[in-house]
Amino acid sequence: MNNILDQQHEGYTREITRDFFKNVYAYMFGALAVSGIIAYMAGTPEFFVKYFLKEDLSGISPLFYVVAFAPLGLGLVIQMAYQRLSLGVLLFLYLLYSVLMGLSLSSIMMVYSGSEIALTLFVTAGAFGGMAILGYTTKVDLTKFGSLMYMAFIGIFIAGIANIFLESDGLSFWISIIGVFVFTGLTAYYMQKLKDVAQSNQLSELDRNKMALVGGLMLYILFVNLFLSLLR
């Protein structure tokens, strides 16, 4: 009898875990698709000059800074306030985040060739997928490892902000190199954390949907940052 109950429980756990990750990846790839389409459409010199430069072409327009920094604020709101917000509001904020990220990424369409972008996407997908599988399947607790990677992420984030003013090619190179290791490491860590969430039987259906959206956002952020680190 106990064996039957254990088998039923394991089957139920596998089912809810599978459904959870289906939603996570749907949110992630949906956002990537939106951002990619927007970046492709806006990635022209004409668009950049019209919307991101001042009318007299004397400098960057305020809209450029809004597009550049608004996703950071939206991402924090989604992650910190998801329990208080409705699923509909979260979906709207996530869509807006994806659009703004697409606009902020549009400049790479003018800097890099299509073949360079395609090759980098292929390498990013391989590295991301490999670390995601590792994080999901490993029996090793990655909590301490994740904490170290998160501290390293904060470090390269601060260095990246500083380099906006320093404009150092050498610093930019090392930020990109370290970023590859940090974002691949965080991918494994967050996949393990998401697996723990997916296998929890204490969440309501609404909470599971919200957590799937937040999980999709986290994986989206890691994928995009890994892509940018490799591209540079």
- What secondary structure letter does DSSP report for 59? S
Domain ranges within the chain, ordered by starting residue: 18-231
Q: Residue 151 CB: number of other CB atoms within 10 A?
A: 10
Contacts 24+ apart (CB under 8 A), 103-108: 103/38, 103/39, 103/42, 103/67, 104/67, 104/68, 104/71, 105/35, 105/39, 105/224, 106/38, 106/39, 106/40, 106/41, 106/42, 106/43, 106/47, 106/48, 107/43, 107/48, 108/39, 108/43, 108/228, 108/231
Please state the rounded mean pLDDT for residues 9-33: 87
In the chain, what is the greatest distance between 2 CA atoms, to the nearest angstrom? 79
How far apart are alpha carbons 40 and 35 in whole angstroms?
Answer: 8
> For 47-80, how does the pLDDT look when each residue is reduced to its tens digit (9 = 90+)?
887 878 776 666 788 888 888 889 989 999 999 9
> For 121-167, how does the pLDDT look when each residue is reduced to its tens digit (9 = 90+)?
999 999 999 999 999 999 999 989 989 998 999 999 898 888 878 77
The residues with which 53 forms a beta bridge, in sequence order, are: 60
How many residues are listed for the chain in this entry? Answer: 232
DSSP 3-state assignment of 83? Answer: coil
How far apart are alpha carbons 122 and 126 in whole angstroms?
Answer: 6
pTM, to two decimals:
0.90
Position 160 scores a pLDDT of 86
One-letter amino acid at 227 equals: F
pLDDT at 8 over 50: no
